[in-house]
Amino acid sequence: MSKRRVIRIVLAVAALGYLFSGTYIVRPNEVAVVRRFGKIVNPAAAPGLHLRLPWPLERVDKVNVSETRTASVGFEEPDQLLGRQASPREGEFLTGDQNIINLRLMLQYTVADPVKFLTVMSDPAAICRKAAERSLTTLVAQTGVDDLIGPERVAISFEVARRMQEELDRLGAGIAVTSANLQTPLPPQEVAAAFNDVQNAKQEMQQVQFQAEGYKSEAVLRAQGDADKLMREAEAYRQQRTTQAEGEAKRFDDLYAEYKDSKEVTSLRLYIEAMEDILPQMKKVIVDSVAGNEMDIGVIKQAP
């Protein structure tokens, strides 16, 4: 075979290879963006086999839209994966009560708009990290260290994610923030021992306060129970005295009615009843008076 023919075959194979270099495959979890001389001609090529003009006429960039990407604040992910110590200054933040605290924030995001994701930013992870760092710095500067360690940590994580999303939307980054996880804050190594002592003292103080609150609640409940008991007893005594007074008043009215009908008999009966109450151990003798029907009452001491 002549040299010229070999060259022709090689050129033909090269030409075919160049033409077939325009074929590309888009996987189900991907979106392909096709650009021709830098201009986007297909913003979202569907999954499957496609053909484009060979390079450098057209360029295809594939973006995995289902992948959850990560970014970090306060440490570098390679350092964490390799077990290396992160830079101590990288994660230091100033709290609202003028304390220095070490913070680590893990971000997760997905691609919402492949075109914006490819064209607006050259380093999306760095942009996300800077946006989160700005939001975290602002929020931590408004929060005390006790709240940051305690209940406010989760709220700050949600707020960082919300502020990040607003900033990325203003930039047109095409990114959707899925989560921001603020890990447990740590004090600087130089003051870690003193910081832990302060936190332990605060926990002991809170425990004593909880015990005092429990004793207070118990004492209040006991006093309320005693007060309710006294109120019930007083109410029962009031009803008893009222009923007794009403009965005595009724008895007096009945006696007065009898007295108006028969004054002498009623007076005698009341006198006898009074003597029986006053002298219960005495023997009473009733003697008819010689003059008229008047009665004389004599009292004889009864032998023991």
The pLDDT value recorded for residue 6 is 60
Q: What is the pLDDT of residues 96-142, one digit of tens each?
A: 888 788 888 898 999 988 888 888 877 888 888 889 888 988 988 88
pLDDT confidence of residue 203: 74
Specify the pLDDT at position 198.
65
In sequence order, the 6+-apart residues with CB closer than 8 A to the CB of 144 are 95, 96, 97, 99
pLDDT of residue 264: 73
For the chain of 304 residues, list the mean pLDDT of each consecutive stretch of 10.
64 59 76 82 79 74 87 71 56 81 88 87 85 89 81 86 91 90 74 63 78 87 89 90 87 76 73 70 58 48 46
Check residue 22 and give its pLDDT. Answer: 64
Both tokens assigned to 131: 């946006």
For residue 8, the model assigns a pLDDT of: 65
Write the DSSP assignment of 214-240 as a string of letters.
HHHHHHHHHHHHHHHHHHHHHHHHHHH
Exposure on the CB side of residue 50, measured as CA atoms within 13 A: 22
Q: What is the pLDDT of residue 195?
A: 61
Exposed, middle or buried: residue 265 (CB in 10 Å: 0-12, 13-18, 19+)? Answer: exposed
* pLDDT per position as a tens digit, 237-278: 889 889 888 888 888 877 777 777 777 777 777 777 777 777
9 sits in which H/E element = helix 3-20
Distance, in Å, from the CA atom of 178 to the CA atom of 65, rounded to the nearest integer, reads: 13
State pTM to two decimals: 0.56
Whether the bond between 187 and the residue before it is cis, its omega within 30 degrees of 0, is no
